[in-house]
Amino acid sequence: MLLGGCATTPDFRPPEAPAVSAYTPTPLPAQTDSAPDAAGGAQRFLAGEDIPAEWWTLFRSDALDRLVRQGLAHSPTLAAAQATLRRAEEDLRAEVGVVSPSVDARLSATRQRFSPEAIGQPNLPSTVFNLYNASVGVSYTFDLTGGWRRQLEAVGAQVDYQAFQLEGAYVALTANIVTAAVREAALRAQIQATGEILAARRRELAIVERQYKLGGAARADVLTQRAELAQIEAGLLPLEKDLAVTRHQLSVLVGRFPGEAGMPAFRLEEMTLPSDLPVSVPSSLVRQRPDIRAAEALLHQAAAQVGVATANLYPRITLTGSYGPLANSAGDLIGDGTNIWSLGASLVQPLFRGGELSARRRAALAAYDQAAAQYRDTVLRAFQNVADTLRALELDARLLQAQVRAETAARDALELTRRSYTLGGTTFLALLNAERQYQQARVGLVQARAARYADTAALFQALGGGWWNRPAPLEAVPAQERKTQE
């Protein structure tokens, strides 16, 4: 009872939420700017609102919803995280068995030769006999200083860590699928815009070549137009390459081989930009982000290991006992008068280990300090992630607004320059410059549209992905059982 007062460490308490009231140094606007574009609607920041579990459905794309669900069902990354969680859970069950009383049944048979000379009777003949024993043994070590309890707590914290790693894999997978789909849609739009520009350039090249044959244009104009056309065609190939790579990435994310058919094609005009963006309060972020919860579990584990290392400095008391028959023949094991029993107790107090136990405790304390610093770093980076995404959304809206104006101005300037060139009022170089500006403006507009979709998905991921609002937590289902359920 006196040793029980030597509590190794106090019970672990989760760190308190940071005392901050905002994600950004300056307040966010109530909503973003708007632009006269399909992706230019204003987005409202709803402070204190919760994140829906299936946030990707806010993009109103059935194809995207089906693909995300397919990824959740077949992703090997998610399956690996589930298997890791199952292993941690079984390790915890095994550890419960280690700290519980152990009961073992023993059955032995021995043939032995005994010499009376061993007891000082050399004149007596030696004896050969059989010895049979059937017994039950019980052993239990008292956890007076809480060492085993802390060890069990450390293993339980590892289960929590793997559970939040699984939730993190879930959030990352859904966000990666949405982001890859948006990137595919943006690449398709850029390829389409570049293709339309190529078609216009080919028509202009045909006109310039006819003018050259009739003497109305210089050969230099023809060569310049051909060079410009070839340059645009060359710029189209990297876009097609990126589209193929993105499609392959999407296939792998949902657990399919790149060569399999049936993958949907995504386009920006088939998605809806969410107009309402829930932004949870900063104090709740540490309970929502799986990476922060996982770092907290590691901190809990490190605290428990300090308790284990401290408990190893104190005495350990073990009780043992056995009971069962002992006889010279197997048939006598069930007879009367053959039962034997034993009861014992032992106390072990480390006296000198060359400083090993003290050093291990100091190492455990250093590991706790490391886990505490890593936890704080994770929290800081999480808040940075949210702040970056919120500002990105605010500036994305302004960028789209500017790109819409730039594309409109570049298109009007190109039409005016074409008419002027046809009437001989401007040079061929001026026409090429107008075409280049329009091409850059169209591609910039597509990229600005895609940025709003991608950063919207990034915000949902940064705020935790809404995993806590699912009807049931992710289960560590074995692959064979999951396939049977499907």
Separation of CA 392 from chain center: 22
C-alpha distance from residue 204 to each of 211, 217, 224, 227, 414 (Å): 10, 12, 12, 13, 13
Q: Is the pLDDT of residue 106 over 80?
A: yes
Who's near 346: CB < 8 A, 6+ residues apart?
317, 318, 320
Backbone angles phi, psi at 131, to 5 degrees: -135, 120
Containing 422, the helix (H) or strand (E) segment is helix 356-422
**Residues paired with residue 445 on neighbouring β-strands, in sequence order:** none
Q: What distance in Å separates the CA atoms of residue 267 and residue 277, rounded to the nearest whole number?
A: 22
pLDDT in tens, 28-58: 899 999 999 989 999 999 999 999 999 999 9
For residue 270, name the pLDDT band (cuts at 50, 70, 90).
Answer: very high
Q: What distance in Å separates the CA atoms of residue 452 and residue 456, rounded to the nearest whole number?
A: 6
pLDDT in tens, 408-433: 999 999 999 988 988 878 887 888 88
Determine the residue type at 59: F
For residues 42 and 32, is the Cβ–Cβ distance under 8 A?
yes
Determine the residue type at 195: G
Q: What distance in Å separates the CA atoms of residue 83 and residue 80, rounded to the nearest whole number?
A: 5
- Residues 418, 420, 422, CA angle at the centre, nearest 5°? 70
pLDDT of residue 15: 92
* Cβ neighbours, 10 Å, residue 356: 11
Tokens of 189: 């739009």
pLDDT of residue 482: 38
Which is more confident, 371 or 345? 371
Which is more confident, 348 or 290? 290
Q: Is the pLDDT of residue 471 over 90?
A: no
pLDDT in tens, 292-317: 999 999 999 999 999 988 888 888 88
Q: What distance in Å separates the CA atoms of residue 386 and residue 23, rounded to the nearest whole number?
A: 7
The three-state secondary structure class of 214 is: coil
Tokens of 7: 């509590």
Q: What distance in Å separates the CA atoms of residue 468 and residue 289, rounded to the nearest whole number?
A: 10
pLDDT of residue 337: 56
Strand 316-327 relative to strand 44-47, pairing: unpaired
pLDDT of residue 5: 47
- Mean pLDDT along residues 124-147: 79
* Cβ neighbours, 10 Å, residue 268: 20
C-alpha distance from residue 401 to each of 45, 104, 176, 186, 351 (Å): 18, 77, 27, 17, 76
Tokens of 81: 């995280």
Give the orientation angle of helix 290-311 with respect to helix 356-422, to 10 degrees. Answer: 170
Determine the residue type at 178: V
Tokens of 169: 């894999």
Q: What distance in Å separates the CA atoms of residue 430 and residue 412, rounded to the nearest whole number?
A: 14
- Residues 215, 216, 220, CA angle at the centre, nearest 5°? 85
For residues 27 and 440, is the Cβ–Cβ distance under 8 A?
no
Strand 276-279 relative to strand 44-47, pairing: parallel
Who's near 387: CB < 8 A, 6+ residues apart?
23, 24
Q: For the chain, give the mean pLDDT.
A: 87
Q: What distance in Å separates the CA atoms of residue 351 and residue 113, rounded to the nearest whole number?
A: 41
C-alpha distance from residue 121 to each of 116, 126, 130, 201, 470 (Å): 5, 10, 21, 119, 82
pLDDT in tens, 346-394: 877 887 777 888 898 999 999 999 999 999 999 999 999 999 999 999 9
pLDDT in tens, 198-232: 888 888 888 888 888 888 778 888 888 889 889 88
Q: What distance in Å separates the CA atoms of residue 376 and residue 291, rounded to the nearest whole number?
A: 12
- Residues 192, 193, 197, CA angle at the centre, nearest 5°? 115
Q: What distance in Å separates the CA atoms of residue 153 and residue 304, rounded to the nearest whole number?
A: 6
Q: What distance in Å separates the CA atoms of residue 235 and residue 224, rounded to the nearest whole number?
A: 17
- How far the first Cα of the chain sits from its last, in Å, is 55
Query: Computed over its alpha carbons, how large is the radius of gyration of the chain?
Result: 37
Strand 276-279 relative to strand 102-114, pairing: unpaired
Q: What distance in Å separates the CA atoms of residue 234 and residue 331, rounded to the nearest whole number?
A: 94
Q: Is the pLDDT of residue 115 over 60?
A: yes
Q: Is the pLDDT of residue 135 over 90?
A: no
For residue 124, name the pLDDT band (cuts at 50, 70, 90).
Answer: confident
For residue 450, name the pLDDT band (cuts at 50, 70, 90).
Answer: very high
Tokens of 102: 């152990």
Domains and CATH numbers, the chain: 3-115+126-485 (1.20.1600.10)
Percent of the chain with pLDDT over 90: 55
C-alpha distance from residue 52 to each of 56, 58, 460, 463 (Å): 9, 9, 9, 11
CA torsion, points 93, 96, 100, 104, in degrees to nearest 10? 30
Q: What distance in Å separates the CA atoms of residue 255 and residue 251, rounded to the nearest whole number?
A: 6
Considering only CA atoms, which of 453, 393, 454 is closest in space to residue 44?
Answer: 393
